[in-house]
Chain A
Amino acid sequence: MQMASTVDASGNPIPSSSVLMASSKHIGIRCHSENFEFLKCKKKDQNPEKCLDKGRDVTRCVLGLLKDLHQKCTNEMNDYVGCMYYHTNEFDLCRKEQQAFEQKCSLE
């Protein structure tokens, strides 16, 4: 169950699929407004160049949130992300780690 660590060299969590899926509930709640603004902008105009600023808001929010989560509950997050990586992002196979993560890191 060994894989590359959740963080890169400078201690920032890498936004890989398992990390993002593990923190998806937190992202959905804490970055809701940024996500919604970005999607509204996309719906108006699909051109990527028109929504770059809102996209940067989204990325800043999510990466900041990941770093915050990782600092507050390092072990639980590492365990949950490791379990997600092992089971290819199947929520139902990682319930125990999910409970521990959500208990520790501010139940939304």
Chain B
Amino acid sequence: MTEATIRNKPGMASVKDMPVLQDGPPPGGFAPVRFARRIPNKGPGAVAIFLTAFGAFSWGMYQVGQGNKIRRALKEEKYAARRSILPVLQAEEDERFVREWHKYLEYEAEVMKDVPGWKVGESVYNSGRWVPPASGELRPDVW
């Protein structure tokens, strides 16, 4: 009954003659809507992209080389310092070694004094070079 009062058309004979109440487009229709793809085909070409990548890579490798140069210079500085102080340290160690070696030779002479034909401190090698002593610990006080 309420539909008939809402959608009333003056002069209708029955409920079946009621006008249709729908949501529809405005008169003249809606404005046209573009839905087609428009992906532009401009921008850098393949050669340009390749050259850019190659350029970035080359610049990066150049920077690597520069960094290596700097690091090598730092290492050279450290090695040069070690080379300069090597003789002092070796000379100090030589003094200490000679003192200990003479003490050891005295001990050897004491122990082997009754052995005929024993040369104290004689080298056990035949090459003629001086070889550091290999008999046990070098510095028993340290170990």
A positions within 8 Å CB-CB of B: 15, 20-21, 24-25, 27-28, 31, 34-35, 38-39, 42, 45-52, 54-56, 58-59, 62, 91-92
What is the interface size of chain B, counting residues whose CB is below 8 A from a CB of the partner? 25
The answer to whether B91 and A21 touch across the interface, beta carbons within 8 angstroms, is no
**Given A35-B87, A38-B87, A91-B74, do A24 and B129 touch, yes or no (CB 8 Å)?**
no
Residues of B close to A15: CB separation below 8 A:
88, 92
Instruction: A25-B81, A31-B84 given; name 12 further pairs at CB < 8 Å.
Output: A25-B84, A27-B84, A27-B85, A28-B83, A39-B87, A45-B130, A48-B94, A49-B98, A51-B94, A55-B92, A58-B88, A58-B91
B positions within 8 Å CB-CB of A: 74, 77-78, 80-95, 97-98, 101, 129-130, 132
A-B contact pairs, 23 of them (CB 8 A): A15-B88, A21-B81, A21-B85, A27-B84, A27-B85, A28-B81, A28-B83, A34-B87, A46-B132, A47-B130, A48-B94, A48-B98, A49-B98, A49-B101, A51-B94, A55-B90, A55-B91, A55-B92, A55-B95, A58-B88, A59-B88, A59-B91, A91-B81
Residue among B78, B83, B85, B129 facing the most chain A CB atoms (10 A cut-off): B85
